[in-house]
């Protein structure tokens, strides 16, 4: 398959976990009705972004993967004939938790999960209190509509993550994300931060010759102290924006991408062909050997 219809769901969240899941289901239906074949939901979409505080009560939000949420999404994927990328708070075992994304294929099959590798610890982003770094390595998933790679939010700042995932055969890189502005900041700071966030991900598209899809949440949280900036986007293998969402509205959008363009971009701009295994050494060898 050369052309793939990518659905992006950018939405606000509430403190009601069930309501958030039902909202995501309805918006996935909306994306499918618009022709989406792969639907990507934002990071931790079943809750508010709870990592703004270190609170033991928030561990109650976690769930098994596969589990109740993936069961519902699997049935939905099968019903609609779409691939669903779902970022969830995983309870792996008693006292052991991950920031995890599950992938459900278009026939409802649970294909597996990726556990976030890079975990931030900044003011209002206290993720190390909640999440153990991923132990599954980087992952690709062979879906009905192409081979996809999943990375999660903070992973986006690290070129090694995108390079390794591309070397493993990912035709599209997806980044479910939750990032925003402190409402106390000035507009110049907001613009600079958003541009840095978008630019680093577009650079992964260029360096690896793949489309990049980044889906962020939107809306005010933390009693108005944080404005999640939306701005979800799709970039082609040259970093050109095919779509960019607003900074303050919920949006369900479907963008057509042509994954055969990867071959042309990589042929004429051969960053990936010149892999320099000698200099990357053990950073990449394990993944290349497995791909």
Catalytic residues: 43, 116, 153
The 3 state secondary structure assigned to 41-105 is ECCCCCCCCHHHCCCHHHHHHCECCCCHHHHHHHHHHHHHCCEEEEEEEEEEECCEEEEEEEEEC
Contact by Cβ (8 Å): 98, 116:
yes
Q: How far apart are CA 282 and CA 50, in angstroms?
A: 36
No. of helices (H) and no. of strands (E), the chain = 7, 17
Helix (H, G, I), strand (E, B) or coil at 249: coil
The angle that helices 17-33 and 68-80 make with each other, rounded to 10 degrees, is 20
Q: How far apart are CA 246 and CA 232, in angstroms?
A: 8
Q: How far apart are CA 136 and CA 149, in angstroms?
A: 13
């Amino acid at each position: 398959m050369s052309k793939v219809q990518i659905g992006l769901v950018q939405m606000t969240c509430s403190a009601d976990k069930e309501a958030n899941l039902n909202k995501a289901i309805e918006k996935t239906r909306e994306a499918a009705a618009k022709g989406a074949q792969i639907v990507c939901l934002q990071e931790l979409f079943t809750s508010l972004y709870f990592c703004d505080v270190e609170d033991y009560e928030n561990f109650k939000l976690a769930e098994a993967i596969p589990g109740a949420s993936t069961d519902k999404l699997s049935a939905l994927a099968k019903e609609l004939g779409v691939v669903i990328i779902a970022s969830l708070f995983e309870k792996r075992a008693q006292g052991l938790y991950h920031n995890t994304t599950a992938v459900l294929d278009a026939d409802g099959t649970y294909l597996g999960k990726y556990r976030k590798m890079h975990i931030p610890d900044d003011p209002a982003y206290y993720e190390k209190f909640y999440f153990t770094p991923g132990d599954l390595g980087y992952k690709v998933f062979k879906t009905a509509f192409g081979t996809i790679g999943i990375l999660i939010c903070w992973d986006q700042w690290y070129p090694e993550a995108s390079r390794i995932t591309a070397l493993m055969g990912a035709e599209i890189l997806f980044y479910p994300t939750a990032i925003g502005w402190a409402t106390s900041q000035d507009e110049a700071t907001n613009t600079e931060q958003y541009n840095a966030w978008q630019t680093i991900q577009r650079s992964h598209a260029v360096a690896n010759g793949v489309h990049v899809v980044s889906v962020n949440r939107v809306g005010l949280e933390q009693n108005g102290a944080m404005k999640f900036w939306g701005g979800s986007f799709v970039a082609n293998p040259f970093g050109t924006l095919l779509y960019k969402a607003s900074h303050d509205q919920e949006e369900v959008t479907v963008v057509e991408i042509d994954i055969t363009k990867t071959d042309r971009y990589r042929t004429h701009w051969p960053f990936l062909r010149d892999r320099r295994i000698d200099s990357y050494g053990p950073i990449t060898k394990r993944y290349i050997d497995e791909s």
